Amino acid sequence: MSHSSDLARAASAPASPVVTATGHRGLDREEALIFELDAEGRSGVDLPEPPPVTPRLGGLARRRPIGLPGLAEPQVVRHYVRLSRRNYAIDLGLYPLGSCTMKHNPRLNEKLARLPGFADLHPLQPEETTQGALRLMHELTHWLTTLCGMPGVALTPAAGAQGELCGLLCIRAALRAGGDQRQVVLVADSAHGTNPATAAMAGYRVEAVPANARGRVDLQALKARLGPDVAAMMLTNPNTCGLFEDEIAEAAAAVHAAGAFVYCDGANFNALVGRVRPGDLGIDCMHLNLHKTFSTPHGGGGPGSGPVMLAAALAPYAPLPFLLREGERLRLVERREGEAAASFGRMKAFHGQMGMFIRALAYMLSHGGDGLKQVAEDAVLTANYVLARVGDVLSPSFPGPCMHECLFDDRFLKGTGVTTLDFAKALIDEGFHPMTMYFPLVVHGALLIEPTETESLDSLEEFIAALRHLAAEATAGRAERFTGAPHLAPRRRLDETAAARKPVLRWRPPDRPRAAE
């Protein structure tokens, strides 16, 4: 049959890159900028003619056109669908970004967040008309405080970094209330960059505490540095080496004895949820990332939500608004009065990331207390499985077991001419998103892998096979497949140097070139 002979001929021909007239490569289409698809006067909406009125704009009506392009709906839909196909996503495959917890995002949560009773609710409606929303926030509070073993929670922060700021401001307000003007925040060497950036934003001087040879906070160094000028110690547990800070109890006791507070970055709570309560570890303050542990989608960079768990000593200083229960009714306290008299103030408009609260609560109700414990256990199991299965060909930075993520450094690439970056980019050609690279900074050429609990064994095996294959290729001297990688993505490596030297941060019409600076 001609059909099968065509196939046979194609299979025997050497692979050769076909140059297409369009620049598209089959389903992988090039897409113009929206501004390049413009036709004047065209629109993708039909709105009624405005009723005739005398304008009341105080003479401030716009005088010049804005310059927005006009497209009809079919063009707009195609544009964004085409763009979407140039992205990797958790819905396409394993997304092993360490300390990012890229787990499956249940679609039920999307559906529920869009119920008009939640999505179409104004934050300043009379509270009688929003009791369901307040009850949802109250239920979320109950779940989070139970999971963490900490009595207070500030729901407002918009993301993890804002949660960190919220926590440090609670600490600062608590110390201020006691007349204490401590100036220093200690930050573990392996901390996320947000930790020192946040401490600086809260007005503190930042000092690093080194890691010991076991990849944990150096307890002796910490004790030596503690003193009357230290306000808080910020650490991450499990830390960004994927290791549990096993001296946390002693560290916390030392910090408390020095009159300071323990702040925990909760980015890695997925290893502990339902199984270990941070409150039992001596932690005074910790943000949670609802967009990590509790599966609200990352959305290409946000939005997130970063509720902050607070010990009793810090809870009175939480940001506005406070959520209070009065019998059957719930109430928001939006000014410093009564229970909220000591609040450090407001961090953002309105009451927090309600859309994320709904998704996170739906996630918790779906899993239950039993399921969340299983989440932590499976997350730890998958990371240890990857560590066990590739530990002989990559170079684990610390002996196992790990928690929910496993850390490797670049010793296994020594002498191959392949860098951590090259190795990660080659993983793209194998169909996976790379792991976190060059972080944490405490090991050389770090590769940090977090598989999460939503991967099946088959998916893990495929990933492990890809890692083993690439390690073998690198040590066999096939550097060229790495240094040129990725070869099979919508784009090859991009020139970031050129982008930073002469930044082009927006489109400009061709006839109006960029003004010289």
Partner 1 sequence: MRYLPLTPRDRAHMLRAIGVPSIDALYDGVPAAARRREALPLPAHQGEIEVERHLAELAACNLGAGRAAFFLGAGAYRHHVPAAVDHLIQRSEFLTSYTPYQPEISQGTLQYLFEFQTQVALLTGMEVANASLYDGATATSEAVLMAARLTRRHKAVLSGGLHPHYRDTVATLTDFAGFRATALPADADGGQDLVASLDGDTACLVVQNPDVFGRLHDLEPLAGAAQARGALLVAVVNEPVSLGLVRSPGEMGADIVAAEGQGLGGGLNFGGPHLGLFATRERFVRQMPGRLCGETVDADGRRGYVLTLSTREQHIRREKATSNICTNSGLMALAFTIHLSLLGEAGLRRLAELNHAKAVQLADRLAGLPGVRLANDSFFNEFTLRLGRPAAPLVAALAGRGVLAGVPGSRLWPERADLADLLLVCASECTTAADMTALVDGLKEALR
Partner 2 sequence: MSETRFTKDHEWIRLDGTVGTCGITDYAQQQLGDVVFVELPEIGRKVAKGEQTAVVESVKAAAEIYAPVGGEVVATNAAIVDEPAKVNAAAMGDAWFFRLRLADPREFAALMSDAEYQRFVEGLQ
| Residue numbers 239-268 binding partner 1 by CB under 8 A | 243-246, 248-249
Q: Provide the β-strand partners of residue 206.
A: 185
Residue 516 binds partner 2, judged by CB under 8 A: no
Q: To which residue do tokens 């739906």 refer?
A: 362
User: Two tokens at 367?
Assistant: 């899993």
Cβ neighbours of 312 (radius 10 Å): 10
Q: Are 31 and 84 in contact (CB under 8 A)?
A: no
| Choices 107-115, 337-345, 400-408, 493-501; region in contact with partner 2 by CB under 8 A | 493-501
| Separation in Å, CA 455 to CA 155, 362, 365, 382, 451 | 30, 20, 21, 8, 7
Binding-site partner at residue 248 among partner 1, partner 2, none, CB < 5 to 8 Å by type: partner 1
- Binding footprint of partner 1, residue count (CB under 8 A): 208
Residue 497 binds partner 2, judged by CB under 8 A: yes
Residue 45 binds partner 2, judged by CB under 8 A: no
Residue 147 binds partner 1, judged by CB under 8 A: yes
| Residue numbers 380-409 binding partner 1 by CB under 8 A | 380-382, 384-385, 387-389, 400-401, 403
- In the three-class reduction of DSSP (H, G, I as helix; E, B as strand; rest coil), residue 43 is classed as coil
Q: How does DSSP classify residue 195?
A: H
- Cis bond upstream, residue 52 (ω within 30): no
Binding-site partner at residue 227 among partner 1, partner 2, none, CB < 5 to 8 Å by type: none
Residue 80 binds partner 1, judged by CB under 8 A: yes
Q: How does DSSP classify residue 69?
A: -
Options 8, 81, 177, 253; binder of partner 1; rule CB under 8 A: 81
| Choices 167-175, 366-374, 452-460, 494-502; region in contact with partner 2 by CB under 8 A | 494-502
Q: Provide the β-strand partners of residue 236.
A: 265
Nearer to partner 2, 10 or 494 (CB): 494
User: Two tokens at 306?
Assistant: 């970063």
The nearest distance, CB 162 to partner 2, in angstroms, is 23
Binding-site partner at residue 9 among partner 2, partner 1, none, CB < 5 to 8 Å by type: none
CA distance 375 to 125: 37
Is the Cα dihedral 343, 349, 351, 352 positive or negative? negative
| Choices 51-59, 218-226, 256-264, 467-475; region in contact with partner 1 by CB under 8 A | 51-59
| Choices 4-12, 222-230, 298-306, 407-415; region in contact with partner 1 by CB under 8 A | 298-306
Environment class of 300 (CB within 10 Å of its CB; exposed 0-12, middle 13-18, buried 19+): exposed
| Residue numbers 316-375 binding partner 1 by CB under 8 A | 319-320, 334-335, 344-356, 358, 361-362, 364-375
Residue 496 binds partner 2, judged by CB under 8 A: yes
User: Two tokens at 436?
Assistant: 């976190």
The nearest distance, CB 1 to partner 1, in angstroms, is 38
Across 440-450, b (16+ Cβ under 10 Å) vs e yields: bebbebbbbbb
| Residue 216 main-chain phi, psi, to 5 deg | -105, 170
The nearest distance, CB 435 to partner 2, in angstroms, is 17
Nearer to partner 1, 79 or 468 (CB): 79
- Binding footprint of partner 2, residue count (CB under 8 A): 5
CA distance 256 to 251: 9
Q: What is the CA radius of gyration of the chain?
A: 26
Nearer to partner 2, 49 or 496 (CB): 496
| Residue numbers 426-465 binding partner 1 by CB under 8 A | 428, 433-434, 439, 453-457, 459
Return the closest-CA partner of residue 470 out of 457, 481, 460, 484: 481
Residue 504 binds partner 2, judged by CB under 8 A: no
| Residue numbers 409-448 binding partner 2 by CB under 8 A | 438
CA distance 159 to 165: 10
CA distance 408 to 400: 11
| Choices 88-96, 225-233, 255-263, 468-476; region in contact with partner 1 by CB under 8 A | 88-96
Nearer to partner 2, 194 or 270 (CB): 194
The total number of residues shown for the chain amounts to 517
Q: To which residue do tokens 């010991």 refer?
A: 212
Binding-site partner at residue 194 among partner 1, partner 2, none, CB < 5 to 8 Å by type: partner 1
Options 19, 500, 504, 516; binder of partner 2; rule CB under 8 A: 500
Return the closest-CA partner of residue 191 out of 217, 172, 169, 212: 217
| Separation in Å, CA 234 to CA 95, 191, 210, 287 | 27, 8, 12, 11
| Choices 5-13, 14-22, 346-354, 492-500; region in contact with partner 2 by CB under 8 A | 492-500
Residue 167 binds partner 1, judged by CB under 8 A: no
Q: From residue 91 to residue 130, what is the string marking binding to partner 1 with x (rule CB under 8 A)?
A: xx--x-x--x-x-xxx-x-xxx-xxxxxxxxxxxxx-xxx
The nearest distance, CB 129 to partner 1, in angstroms, is 4
CA angle 88, 90, 91 (to 5 degrees): 95
Residue 501 binds partner 2, judged by CB under 8 A: yes
CA 255 to chain CA centroid, Å, is: 28
Residue 12 binds partner 2, judged by CB under 8 A: no
Binding-site partner at residue 262 among partner 2, partner 1, none, CB < 5 to 8 Å by type: none
Nearer to partner 2, 271 or 442 (CB): 442
> Where does this chain bind partner 2 (CB under 8 A)?
438, 496-497, 500-501
